[in-house]
């Protein structure tokens, strides 16, 4: 199953801000982008000006995804949305390439 994840924090919880100064951040704050045994991260995009990240991940269960993003709970809201792969659905339907 594919999930779209939107994580948001603010300047007070940003992993790149230390004592009011923007830094390069700590490498461990981005370790989640490698996924884990239960979640494959397909892509990650950041919008640093608004302190937001967007990710597309694949997992068997919603619970596996929430475990991967549990660290984000102290930083701000994190939305996990199950999505349907419409390209694959079209291929599976047998109508691929037909108009």
Return the minimum-mean-pLDDT range out of 5-9, 10-14, 27-31: 27-31
pLDDT recorded at residue 99: 61
Question: What are the structural domains of the chain?
Answer: 2-93 (3.30.70)
pLDDT recorded at residue 16: 82
Q: Rounded to an integer, what distance in angstroms lies between the CA atom of residue 38 and that of residue 26? A: 24
How sure is the predictor about 6, in pLDDT bands with cuts at 50, 70 and 90? Answer: very high
The two structure tokens encoding residue 21: 């100064």
73-88 as b/e: b if 16+ CB within 10 A: eebeebebeeeeeeee
pLDDT recorded at residue 13: 86
Nearest-5° angle of CA 20, CA 52, CA 73?
80
pLDDT recorded at residue 71: 87
List pLDDT tens digits, range 80-92: 999 998 888 888 8
List pLDDT tens digits, range 17-56: 888 888 877 777 788 999 999 999 999 999 988 999 999 9
Q: Rounded to an integer, what distance in angstroms lies between the CA atom of residue 83 and that of residue 1? A: 8
pLDDT recorded at residue 86: 86
The two structure tokens encoding residue 82: 């199950």
């Amino acid at each position: 199953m594919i999930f779209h994840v939107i994580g948001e924090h603010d300047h007070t919880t940003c992993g790149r801000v230390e004592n009011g100064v923007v830094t390069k951040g700590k490498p461990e704050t981005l370790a989640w982008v490698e996924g884990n045994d239960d979640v494959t991260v397909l892509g990650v995009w950041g919008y640093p000006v608004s302190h937001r990240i967007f990710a597309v991940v694949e997992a068997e269960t919603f619970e596996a995804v929430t475990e991967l993003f549990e660290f984000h709970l102290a930083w701000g809201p994190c939305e996990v949305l199950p999505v349907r792969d419409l390209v694959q659905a079209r291929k599976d339907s047998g109508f691929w390439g037909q108009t």
